[in-house]
Amino acid sequence: DAVTTIYERSVTGRRAFAAPPLDVPERPLDELIPAHLRRTTPAALPEVSEPEIVRHYNRLSKRNFDLDTGFYPLGSCTMKHNPKLHERVAGLPGNARLHPLQDPQRAQGALELMWNLQQSLGEIAGLPHVSLQPSAGSHGELAGLLLTRAYHEDRGGPRRTKVLTPDTAHGTNPATVTMAGYDVVKVGTNPDGGVDVDDLRSKADEQVACLMLTNPNTLGVFDANIEEIASIVHGVGATLYYDGANLNAIMGITRPGDMGFDIVHFNLHKSFTQPHGGGGPGAGPIAVSERIEPYLPKPQVVKREDGAFDLDEDRSKSIGKLRGFQGNYGVFVRSYAYIRSLGSEGLREASEVAVLNANYLLALLRREGVAEYLPAAFDRICMHEFVLSGAPMKRDLGLRTLDLAKRLLDHGVHPPTVYFPLLVDEALLLEPTETETKETLDHFAAVIAEILREAKADPEIARNAPYTTPVRRLDEAGAAKNPVIRQPL
């Protein structure tokens, strides 16, 4: 079946749109908008009827793998089940057709939902003040560093120019630091996979604005030295920032606020489940401590004394706005439904089973026939995800991590995150999540073992995989060298 784009299906004169009737005088456009401000050639949008659009995108959809079809253990992405209730409640007209500038008096349900969600997130984080505004985790990170900047500027003192990040950090962390106008300073990792405390101590000085940390980190390791780390960071007057991408491991078990963090971001689309949409939307709310609160973005959702909810724009020390309106409300609805569905016990159970599933899968992969090729990067109990190294597999079987990933595609499984964290050679980062069954984990482990067995006999099979997918390995280098990023029309 040849791949055609919607533009290639276009035939002059076809249409899906019927305009509502012109029920007002047909004034010449020249009277309304001067000709020199107007367009002369229409945009070459496709000309297609409704059935063709439906077929085109329906067929395209079948060229995607999705979570509702199979296992998707993409580490650090928390691909947990997306409850179907969430689309129903997000689609209620009272939510879906609510204008963001509606008078707060006539948006009380939405504001109450946001306020309730703020309270819940604050309780989960152990930090009382929440802004829902950021649009994604990385946006939350940026908010966190701008809050840090505002905090330091408000306090006065010498200018701070550096932000510390461990070398295990998500790629978003250093990128965010740069966007916030700081310099990245890397901190090393100790043999247990935690922060190298001595290295941290040596780098923590009065020029440091913040330490950004993920705990458990991207190695799946909970840093047991967190209290000491917090004390070092606070000792130099810096803030401690919690990257919440891995919150799914600890909900109801421990709290960033209790560990000493000042600012936390949540990935609502991870821990609090959102359909990932092929790369969004999501939301990255932040929770902060008392001392950071004055700088939170505006507007803030507040509860007035009479019980009414409102939007507070009157925040003199606020960093301002990070985007339009109040944030990704549609995302809030889904995550709020999730929190209410699971409740206190259910959230803890989610984290417990997430960690149980990860450790069980790790145990299965520690068995003979696998562990000698794909050893765990850290030989200990993991949190909700864990890292394997494909280095022995590469050495002994000539199979790169990428080859293993591609061969998994032929087995109908989405590969784990590959080549991250950077610290581990030929890394594979696996996060099964709590919504997968034991049978699925057993099957996955069996597939890995099978691929390795196959590779021992003939490594070429995996090296040339995949075979059963709509396309096979693609020329990415060529695409980057001569970018064709739109259709010539």
Partner 1 sequence: MSTYTSATDADRRAMLDAIGVDSIDALFADIPAALRLDRPLALPAGMAEQEVYAHLRDLAARNVSAEDEVSFLGAGMYDSYVPALIDSIILRSEFLTPYTPYQPEISQGGLQVMFEYQTAISELTGLPVSNASVYEGPSAVGAAGYLAKLANGRPRVLASRGVHPHSRATLTTLAHGYGQTVEEVPLKDGVTDLDALVAALGDDVSAVVLQQPNFLGSVEDVAKLTAAAKEHGALVICACDPVPLGILQPPGEQGVDIAVGEGQTLGNRLDFGGPSFGFFAASQEHIRRMPGRIAGETTDVDGRRGFVLTLQTREQHIRREKATSNICTAQALNALAGVIYLSWLGRDGLVELGELLARRTAYARDRLAALDGVTLLHEAPVVREFAVRLDADVARVVERLAGEGINAGYRLGRDYPEFDDGLLVAITEQRSRADIDRLAEALGRAVAAERTAAVPAGAGASS
Considering beta carbons, is residue 123 or 396 the nearer one to partner 1? 123
Tokens of 176: 């965010």
Q: Beta strand 286-288 with 129-131: parallel, antiparallel or unpaired?
A: antiparallel
Q: Is 470 in the site for partner 1 (CB under 8 A)?
A: yes
* Smaller CB separation from a copy of itself, 105 or 344: 344
Q: 67, 236, 371, 461: which one contacts partner 1 (CB under 8 A)?
A: 67
CB 223 within 8 A of CB 217: yes
Binding region for partner 1 (CB under 8 A) out of 200-208, 300-308, 390-398, 461-469: 461-469
Helix 329-365 × helix 438-457 angle, to 10°: 50
Instruction: Please compute Rg for the chain using Cα positions.
Output: 25
Partner touching 161 among partner 1, a copy of itself, none, CB below 5 to 8 Å by kind: none
Enumerate residues 6+ apart whose C-beta is below 8 A from 486.
Answer: none
Residues 194 and 380 sit within 8 Å (Cβ to Cβ):
no
Tokens for 18, please give them. 């019927």
Q: Which of 187, 210, 233, 259 binds partner 1 (CB under 8 A)?
A: 259
- DSSP-based three-state secondary structure for 379: coil
Cα-based distances in Å from 142 to 131, 151, 234, 263, 321: 13, 14, 20, 11, 12
**Which of the listed partners (a copy of itself, partner 1, none) does 373 bind, with a CB threshold of 5 to 8 Å by partner kind?**
none
The two structure tokens encoding residue 242: 């919690």
Amino acid 475 reads D
Peptide bond connecting 466 to the previous residue in cis, omega within 30 degrees of 0: yes
Q: Is 312 in the site for partner 1 (CB under 8 A)?
A: no
Binds 1, which of partner 1, a copy of itself, none (CB < 5 to 8 A, cut-off by type)?
a copy of itself
Window 149 to 168, contacts with a copy of itself (CB under 8 A): none
Binding to a copy of itself by residue 62, rule CB under 8 A? yes
Interface map 2-41 toward a copy of itself (x if CB under 8 A): ---------x------------------------------
Q: Site map for a copy of itself, 421-460, x if CB under 8 A? A: --------------xxx-x---------------------
Q: How many residues make contact with partner 1 (CB under 8 A)?
A: 216
Q: Kindly identify the residues of this chain, within the stretch 92-121, that bind a copy of itself according to CB under 8 A.
A: none
Candidates 212, 137, 204, 220; CA nearest to 177 is 212
Q: Which does 466 bind (CB under 5 to 8 A by kind): a copy of itself, partner 1, none?
A: partner 1
For tokens 């993991």, the residue is 382
# residues near a copy of itself by CB under 8 A: 23
Q: What angle do CA 480, 173, 142 make, to 5 degrees?
A: 105
Nearer to partner 1, 329 or 373 (CB): 329
Contacting partner 1 (CB under 8 A), which of 166, 330, 375, 390? 330
Strand partners, 239: 210
Residues that bind a copy of itself (CB under 8 A): 1, 11, 49-52, 54-55, 58-59, 62, 66, 68-70, 81, 83-84, 412, 435-437, 439
